[in-house]
Chains A and B, each alone.
Chain A
Amino acid sequence: MTSFNEFVIRFANVNGSGSASANGMFAKALFRMGIPVTTRNIFPSNIQGLPTWFEVRASSREYFGRRDKVDIMVAMNAETYKEDVNRLESGGYLIYDSTRGRPRELYRDDVHEIGIPITKLILSEFSDPKQRQLFKNIVYVGSLSALLDMEFDVLTSMVASQYRGKDKLIQPNIRALELGRNYVLKYLPCPMEIQVKRADLVGDRILVDGNEAAALGAIYGGATLCAWYPITPSTSVADTFEKHASRLRVDPKTKKKNFAIIQAEDELSAIGMVIGAGWNGARAFTATSGPGISLMNEFLGLAYFAEVPAVVFDVQRAGPSTGMPTRTQQSDLLSVAFASHGDTKHPILLPATPKECFDFAADAFDLAERIQSPVIVMTDLELGMNQTLSDPFQWDDSRQYDRGKVLDFEDLEQIERYGRYVDVDGDGIGYRTLPGTHPSKGSFFTRGSSRNEWAVYTEDAQSYINNMDRLNKKWETIRSLMPSSEVEHRNGRAGIIYFGTTTTPMNESLGLLDENGITLNSLRIRSYPFGPEVAEFIDAHEKIFLVEQNRDAQMKSLLSFDLGIDPKKFVSILYYGGFSISADYIVDEVTEHYVVNKLPRLREVES
């Protein structure tokens, strides 16, 4: 039976072979045919020569989670060929380069095998060794266009626009596409039973990754300084900030820049610069990953205690220490929430889509200045580095930056005595002044050591306690400013809580569970500290499944810490293999819980 616009295709390549742009072009072509798509790049911590995979999931139902098995495998890497063949669903399609023979034991009877003599086709057509290498990737894209019944002119127009200005590259690329396409049309049964057809399911949406979205959010949020240290998977936040700022933030007349990027000597220095700039009234951020957060701990404690705004993007990767730098996880949660020694805690924003990366990035700068404290936006490799279908970015030109409580010269003239940490408004947040504001009023000493509300150094116990209690009062103000959770009631008796990229497969998981008679109400956490709706949701259900991508159920600890909830209330579903959690995994874990505990399913209760 022919299926349309519903499949997972995986490309198995060698990294450094130029496959990324061909695979990206394939995904974009589907998107331009109006089909919802997401991509997933699975790559090694290496520059050249190791296996890399690229997955595209097309789904008219918008099921975008990772699947363990795939429907189509383009097996271009001999080294991983066996593993790749085994990953195919029964009845799936194996596309391989048939120029050379394959070992007998690698044949599978239950899949369609489609051999295309890719190398041979290339050798007869191209003489340049570099082109011979690169165009192998273009040839299989051309073949796929026929096998999947794609609109060929979508591909050719993409080539034309991609190489505009380098026109002599257009023709050879199109020729390579045609080579693959024509061979398949001539010699193989085509199209396959898995096909695509033009749809109108994308609307005005865009295809983008979370890191670029966050960088754009930082530009729109008014960031002027990006201080950073290169680390996978966060690097493209700084790279794309530079790319867009170089266009959007340069004075057309003077050519001078309204931004600066400093590649620091390490993450300590990067966060130090951000804090120095924040103290002096400029919006600044850094982007990093877990190991960088570890190095930033001391400074984050200073910024919390000395009350200096700062924005940090933590694009999480897998593992303690170096771990798996090119894999994804949500395992920095606790280390970020409590980054630094002493009684320190930080608010966290947890976007789940590129659009939300943009929004939360821009919001983070308002928030950091409003609360005079670091704000950490936590994404992960899955969201940060993979292009996925997203709502378009939006901005309201009437929106004004919230620069928080900062006194200027005139304000200071009106004040009899200025005290940096006096809680004038009762929200736990004092008034800042910036260096250079007034000749005789408003100066104060910023320090990480204890002081009274007039910013005067003291080791007096009561002054210390008063200050810490005020910071806790501020914490409640912060709670009221954070974006609230997304709650969906489906008439279930149990609830499921998730956040960040655990959201991606949830749509599919909830659908599959529902088919199995397990209907769950859901809550997506978008920030920490948690709003009242989180406690209400938990209270309203007998059982709460809590899905996270780490070993130690860190969100469970955080919920218990912040809301005083008995951890026994939660059934944790934990995945920490470094790939993004799949819908199947969630469905299996939830279902198993019902089976093992002999719990009645909703349908059984009703009947």
Chain B
Amino acid sequence: MTFVPKPKARHPLLKTNEIGLTRRDYEAIVSTLCAGCGHDSVSAAVIQACHELSIPPHQFAKVSGIGCSSKTPSYFLGNAHGFNSVHGRMPSIATGAYLANKELKYIGISGDGDSASIGLGQFAHIIRRKVDMCYIVDNNGTYGLTKGQFSATNDRGSTSKRGVPNLYAPIDLVSLAIQLGASFVARSFSGDKQQLIPLIKAAVLHKGFAFIDVISPCVMFNNHEGSTKSYTHVRNHTEPVIDASLIMPRDEITVEYEEGTTISVPMHDGSELQLRKLSDSYEPNDRVSALTYVQQAQEEGEIATGLLFLEEDAVNCHDILGTSDTPFNGLEQESLCPGVEKLEQINDSLR
């Protein structure tokens, strides 16, 4: 079996978004991942988020590396181009694609093996370069396709399916992203779509590098007792610190929060991101404080989730480089080729 297209039949009551598209228009072929895989929930959340944002699907470009997570761009936004590249090297593909056309929305899907091991270098450097994209890591702490080796995000002492403990300290991608200058850093859980969908929406709208680490349990190799990436463990140990909700321009604001606990962030498309602090001691606009909080929670065996850090009005790579308003892939030859007269001047300067 290779792929199964989804039936085209449409339920008459399927809700359409602002541009008249249903959720189905944001779907793609049927997933071939294992039943119950957390990654499928992430794909579903991406579909839901993009539908709710009313952005035409073909205005996205999907990029990924190699691994179970990196297969998933096949399973959402079927009308968008996708690029399933090389293990750990999606960031460079994303950077090149983004430099070629700044007008598309870029969604990168990676995994913990892809971003924290083989591709840690590229992960670090795409953050430094402030590529404007939504970068999601489906983090299950294991190598599924090669049958259950530990990955670098696995906690020390967490056990394999055969009961062998992991001996090495984990790499926390959220801490790295905050430290390296990402302007939007979130963590969520594939089992919590209430939290995840608004985060994806905000990440897509965010102008800058938006990173979401999604704990996404592997039902085959890392969902047993003793694993710190199992559904049960994650459910019992998550600590939401910020509740994010995105208010679209047409939405009525229905919930009133207690004064001082809500931060309102205007997004570039006119919508508004509302952040509700669930913990008093948390400052999501302060890099040092956010980093400290995240690491403290980790020390205590808890997983801080929500929008953990946000820098408003962040600069992006194109701002830094001072590139043309027209995307590079739309520049005509006359803007690119200096012509024979200039070449004669160059020849003269070399005589």
Interface residues of A (CB under 8 A from B): 31-32, 204-208, 216, 219-220, 222, 224-225, 227, 244, 248-249, 251, 254-260, 262, 264-266, 268-284, 298-299, 302, 306, 392-397, 400-401, 433-440, 443-449, 456-460
Q: Which of B61, B96, B328 contacts A436 (CB 8 A)?
A: B61
B321–A260 touching, CB < 8 Å: yes
- Interfacial chain B residues near A204, Cβ < 8 Å: 347, 351
Whether A433 contacts B81 by the Cβ 8 Å rule is yes
Contact with B2, one of A436, A438, A444, A460 (Cβ below 8 angstroms) = A460
- Which residues of chain A have C-beta atoms less than 8 A from B327's C-beta? 282
List residues of chain B with CB under 8 Å of any chain A CB.
Answer: 2-3, 56-59, 61, 63, 73-74, 78-86, 89, 91-101, 103-104, 121-122, 124-125, 129, 321-325, 327-329, 331, 333, 335-340, 342-343, 346-347, 350-351
B23 to chain A, nearest CB (A): 16
Are B350 and A273 touching (Cβ within 8 A)? no
Contact B84 A268 (CB under 8 A): no
Which residues of B sit under 8 angstroms from A31, Cβ to Cβ? 351
Are B81 and A224 in contact (CB-based, < 8 A)?
no
Q: Is the CB of A256 within 8 A of B325?
A: yes
Question: Contacts A260-B321, A433-B81 given: A445-B74 contact, CB under 8 Å?
Answer: yes
Contact B99 A279 (CB under 8 A): no
Known: A268-B92, A280-B101, A281-B100; 10 extra A-B contacts, CB below 8 A, are A206-B347, A249-B338, A257-B321, A272-B93, A276-B99, A277-B100, A282-B101, A394-B343, A436-B58, A443-B82
Contacts A256-B322, A269-B92, A280-B101 given; indicate if A457 touches B2 (C-beta within 8 A). Answer: yes
| Across-interface contacts of B104 in A (CB, < 8 A) | 280, 435-436
Query: Which one of B3, B78, B125 lies within 8 Å of A443 (CB-CB)?
Result: B78
CB atoms of B333 and A401 under 8 A apart:
yes
Q: How far is the CA of A397 from the CA of B340 in the complex (A)?
A: 6
- Judge whether A258 and B335 touch: CB under 8 Å: yes
Q: Return the chain A residue nearest B338 by Cβ.
A: A248
| B2 close to A281 (CB less than 8 A) | no
Contact A448 B325, CB 8 Å, known A227-B96, A264-B125, A457-B3 = no
Nearest CB of chain B from residue A372's CB, rounded to whole Å:
14
Q: Which residues of A contact B59 (CB under 8 A)?
A: 436
Q: Are A435 and B80 in contact (CB under 8 A)?
A: yes
Q: How many A-B residue pairs have CB under 8 A?
A: 233
Smallest distance from the beta carbon of B339 to chain A beta carbons, Å? Answer: 6
A395's partner among B56, B81, B97, B343 (CB-CB below 8 A) is B343
Q: How far is the CA of A602 from the CA of B302 in the complex (A)?
A: 88
Q: Which residues of B contact A437 (CB under 8 A)?
A: 58
Give every chain A residue within 8 A of B82 (Cβ-Cβ): 443-447
- Is B324 a contact of A256 with CB atoms below 8 Å? yes
Alpha-carbon gap, A440 to B20, bound state (A): 14
Q: Are A280 and B2 in contact (CB under 8 A)?
A: no
Q: Which residues of chain B come closer than 8 Å to A396, judged between CB atoms? A: 340
Enumerate 28 A-B pairs (CB-CB under 8 Å) in ascending A order: A205-B351, A206-B351, A207-B350, A216-B346, A220-B337, A227-B95, A251-B324, A260-B328, A266-B121, A272-B122, A273-B92, A273-B93, A275-B93, A276-B63, A276-B83, A278-B96, A281-B329, A401-B337, A435-B80, A435-B101, A436-B104, A439-B58, A439-B79, A440-B58, A445-B74, A446-B81, A448-B84, A456-B3
CA–CA, A120 to B335, complex, Å?
56
Q: How far is the CA of A268 from the CA of B93 in the complex (A)?
A: 10
Contact A282 B321 (CB under 8 A): no
* CB atoms of B336 and A222 under 8 A apart: yes
Chain A residues whose C-beta falls within 8 Å of the C-beta of B96 in the assembled complex: 225, 227, 272-280, 284
Given A219-B338, A401-B333, is A443 in contact with B325 using a C-beta cutoff of 8 Å? no
Q: Is the CB of A276 within 8 A of B92?
A: yes
The 4 closest A-B pairs by CB, nearest first: A276-B96, A272-B92, A282-B100, A281-B329
Most interface-central of B78, B100, B124, B337 (chain A CB within 10 A): B100
Contact of B95 with A272 in the complex, beta carbons under 8 Å: yes
Contacts of B97 in A (CB 8 A): 276-277, 279-280, 435
Residues of A within 8 A of B333 (CB): 222, 400-401
Residues of A within 8 A of B95 (CB): 227, 262, 269, 272-273, 276
A452, closest chain B residue (CB): B2
Residues in B with CB closer than 8 Å to A299 are 86, 89
Give the complex CA separation of A407 and B81 in angstroms.
Answer: 14
Q: Measured between alpha carbons, how far is A219 from B336 in the docked complex, in Å?
A: 7
**A265 and B122 contacting across the interface, CB-CB below 8 Å:** yes
Which one, A32, A280, A456, contacts B100 given CB within 8 A?
A: A280
Contact residues in B for A254 (Cβ distance below 8 Å): 324-325
CA distance A272 to B92 in the complex (A): 5
Contact of B83 (CB < 8 Å), options: A395, A401, A446, A458? A446
Identify which of B2, B79, B122 gathers the most chain A CB atoms within 10 Å of its CB.
B2
Among B84, B336, B347, max chain A CB count under 10 A is at: B336
Chain B: CB-nearest residue to A32: B351
| Cα distance, A435 to B93, chains bound together (Å) | 14
CB distance from A37 to the nearest CB of B (A): 12
Whether A393 lies near B325 (C-beta < 8 A) is no
Which residues on the B side are within 8 Å of A438 (C-beta)?
58
The answer to whether residues A257 and B99 also contact, given A207-B350, A220-B337, A436-B58 and a CB cut-off of 8 A, is no
Contact B99 A277 (CB under 8 A): yes
Q: Report the Cα distance A299→B90, complex, angstroms.
A: 11
User: If the complex has contacts A272-B122, A393-B346, are A224 and B78 also in contact, measured as CB distance less than 8 A?
Assistant: no
In the bound complex, CA of A257 to CA of B338 (Å) = 13
A445 contacts across to B, CB distance below 8 A: 73-74, 81-84
Chain A minimum-CB-distance residue to B325: A256
Min CB gap A223→B, angstroms: 8
Complex Cα distance A446/B59, Å?
16
Tell me which of A207, A260, A266 contacts B99 (CB under 8 A).
Answer: A260
Complex Cα distance, B3 from A459, in Å, reads: 11
CB-CB < 8 A to A443: which residues of B? 58, 78-82
Q: Assess the A262–B99 pair: CB atoms within 8 A.
A: yes
The reply to whether B99 and A273 contact each other, CB–CB distance below 8 Å, is yes
Instruction: Point out the residues of chain A lying under 8 angstroms from B325, CB to CB.
Output: 254, 256
Do B336 and A258 touch across chains, with their CB atoms under 8 A apart?
Answer: yes
> A258-B324, A258-B336, A269-B125 are known contacts. Are A276 and B100 too (CB-CB below 8 A)?
yes
Least CB distance from A244 to B in Å reads 8
Partner of A302, one of B58, B86, B121: B86
A206-B350, A207-B350, A457-B2 known; A284-B100 Cβ under 8 A:
yes
Q: Which residues of B contact A259 (CB under 8 A)?
A: 323, 328
B8 → A minimal CB distance (Å):
12
Contacts of B125 on A, CB cut-off 8 Å?
A: 264-265, 269
B33–chain A nearest beta-carbon distance, Å: 13
A248 with B342, Cβ < 8 A, contacts A281-B100, A435-B97 known: yes
Q: Are A276 and B324 within 8 A (Cβ)?
A: no
Known A260-B99, A277-B328; contact A208-B350, beta-carbon cutoff 8 A: yes
- Looking across the interface, which residue of chain B has its beta carbon closest to that of A436? B104
Q: Which residues of B contact A249 (CB under 8 A)?
A: 336, 338
